[in-house]
Amino acid sequence: MSSPSHKRIWKVVSLIPQGKVASYGQIADLAGLPGRARMVSKALKCTPEELAIPWHRVLRADGKIAFPVGHEFGLQQQQLLREEGLQVDRLRVNLSACQWQPDLPTLLFALDY
DNA sequence: ACCTTGACATTGG
DNA sequence: GCCAATGCCAAGG
């Protein structure tokens, strides 16, 4: 199931560079869906296999991995983030100096504005 | 049409 | 920092 909103969300997430992270709410805002952080999580859950996007770079606003402790995806996410050089402590990322700040022109171009 | 469910965010204690 | 209460809103029963 894919809606126009989902596609915009996937595009925005695909722009997050290696070593940087963003929150669900931030992605929603950038995708033109203010206040709809939960829609971002849904969109990620429905991501088609063939679409390779850096889903692991999306965290809660406080830097925590959204999956419960012990969840397989959470552990995988933690590992992927560490492989990018980020410091992850107990499923939480130290947000200092790794928060994504999108380049506006690039963002607008990606969203066909 | 009503109810429940989230890979969330914010606020207040 | 942790927890509970609220707000949020699309999807699926």
- How far is the C-alpha of A39 from the C-alpha of A6, rounded, in Å? 8
- How far is the C-alpha of A5 from the C-alpha of A12, rounded, in Å? 11
Q: Which amino acid belongs to residue A93?
A: V
- DSSP classification of residue A68: P
pLDDT in tens, A53-102: 999 999 999 999 999 988 999 999 999 999 999 999 999 999 999 999 99
Backbone angles phi, psi at A74, to 5 degrees: -65, -45
Q: What is the pLDDT of residue A95?
A: 93
- How far is the C-alpha of A41 from the C-alpha of A28, rounded, in Å? 10
pTM, full prediction: 0.94
**Is 70 exceeded by the pLDDT of residue A32?**
yes
Instruction: Break chain A into its structural domains and give their ranges.
Output: 4-110
User: Is the CATH number 1.10.10.10 carried by domain A4-110?
Assistant: yes
**Is 70 exceeded by the pLDDT of residue A1?**
no
Nucleotides on strand B with an atom closer than 7 A to protein CB? 6-10
The Å distance, CA of A44 to C1' of B8, is 13
